[in-house]
Amino acid sequence: MSLVSLLIGIFWADQSSEFAYAVSNAMESFIDGYGYFAPVAIYLILTPTLTKLLSSESRGKGFAKYTIKWYVVARIIALVYGALWTAVAFGMPLYSSVEGLGAAATESLTSLVWMLTNSVYFYAIYASIITVFIATRKPGLAKTLAKGVDLIEHLGQFIVPIIPFLMIAIGAYVTILPEVLAESLGPEMENARVNTVSILGLPIDITTPLGMILLYILSAFLTGFISGTWHAGLLYLVKRAKPDFSLKEYFSVYWIKVYPMLWATSSEALGTPLNLHMIKKFCPTIPDEVRQFVVGTGSFLNINGTMINVILMTGLVATILNVDVSLLQLLLCIPIVFLIGYGVPGIPGELILFGGPVALSIGVPPELMPIFLGLYIGLQIGLPDSFRTAANSTDECLCAIILNKRY
């Protein structure tokens, strides 16, 4: 349904410019309110998530702490991995300053410090941390806040039925993007975009609707490919931890039953019950407390497909707008993405929370900020969401096997 809806949106926009511009205007209206919406969303989602994490209990607190630390290290590695792949995919330099590595690092760190002290997004994070600090000393407040993340994940299921309608809008938006970019930038900013974007050396002309659609699809499949190689790394670790592990049984018994639903719904939260059931069926020797804790916390801690896609989308949109971005700048985005990642609710379109912070981090000029946000938010919905979500949750099965050995 999602794929058919995408095609309907493309066809509809091609036949009716009124429909296409209505979708574009709706996106512009959303971007106009983004600066007010995003900080509030970050606070409301991050606060209950951190509270639930800090107040969680498990039979075996040593194992719980080890699992959380393991997820933290995995997230950092995934972010670095995503940055490296992004730099390779879009041909980014190691650092962008002509004055040398030292000057480039200083410039990037100065930008980061400015954002830490002036960004409204970080004010929301600071407010969340202060609230969590207070909540840990007031059990009643902590219990109430902890229920918030469960409510958000529960509400995520109501987004799933409207995904086909969102895909129609995305199809229309991607189709009309070349015209929108030309009108938004104007002749005075003609150097603020490129005509061709290369992905792994494959040039794509983005001045036409077909080229922009192709860019959208290829970037989505690139997300799937990078997430797949990450998944292959976990399979290697599982094979080391459990030599009798069968790849054939894994893909035929577990993976093929879980991945399609997650891909179709783009919701880790909605797929959690099925994931728990299939992990138990595939690995009946894993104790319930291990399986439930690893998968339960993994739904918001183990989202490395999403982390990879955040960095990849940053590189993609920066390349479209000809914003000079280097591998060093992508690496300096990691602390921001790492922290905000704990507020991702496991529902479709979750990358919305990252758009503003990463744009500030890489130094997007103020005049390009609305266009950057429009591209970042629009291009991450649909197919990229499907690939990153399916990767997130199937990773949890392998993590459960690896962490069970520690247990």
Contacts of 225 by beta carbon, 8 Å cutoff, 6+ apart: none
What was the pLDDT predicted at 59? 52
What was the pLDDT predicted at 28? 79
Nearest residue to 381 (alpha-carbon basis) of 266, 280, 272, 221:
266
Which of the 8 DSSP states describes residue 198?
A: E
State the architecture of 2-406 in CATH terms.
Orthogonal Bundle (1.10)
What was the pLDDT predicted at 102? 67
What was the pLDDT predicted at 399? 94
Question: Residue 204 is inside which H or E element, if any?
Answer: strand 202-205
CA 159 to centroid of chain Cα atoms: 17
What was the pLDDT predicted at 324? 87
Domain limits, the chain: 2-406
* Residue tagged 């150097």 (tokens): 191
Question: Residue 203 is inside which H or E element, if any?
Answer: strand 202-205
Q: How far apart are CA 9 and CA 169, in angstroms?
A: 6
Query: Which of helix, strand or coil describes residue 59?
Result: coil
What was the pLDDT predicted at 223? 95
Q: How far apart are CA 204 and CA 195, in angstroms?
A: 8
Q: What is the dihedral of CA 382, 387, 392, 394, to 10 degrees?
A: 130
Q: How far apart are CA 260 and CA 239, in angstroms?
A: 24
Packing angle of the helix pair 34-55, 17-32 (nearest 10 deg): 60
Nearest residue to 166 (alpha-carbon basis) of 27, 29, 32:
27
Nearest residue to 18 (alpha-carbon basis) of 172, 207, 165:
172
What was the pLDDT predicted at 156? 57
Q: How far apart are CA 266 and CA 5, in angstroms?
A: 15
Q: What does pLDDT average to in each consecutive run of 10 residues of the chain (407 residues)?
A: 83 89 83 77 74 60 83 95 96 74 66 74 84 80 68 62 79 83 64 78 88 91 96 95 92 90 78 85 89 81 92 94 89 87 70 87 86 88 88 92 90
Instruction: Count how many residues are written for the chain.
Output: 407
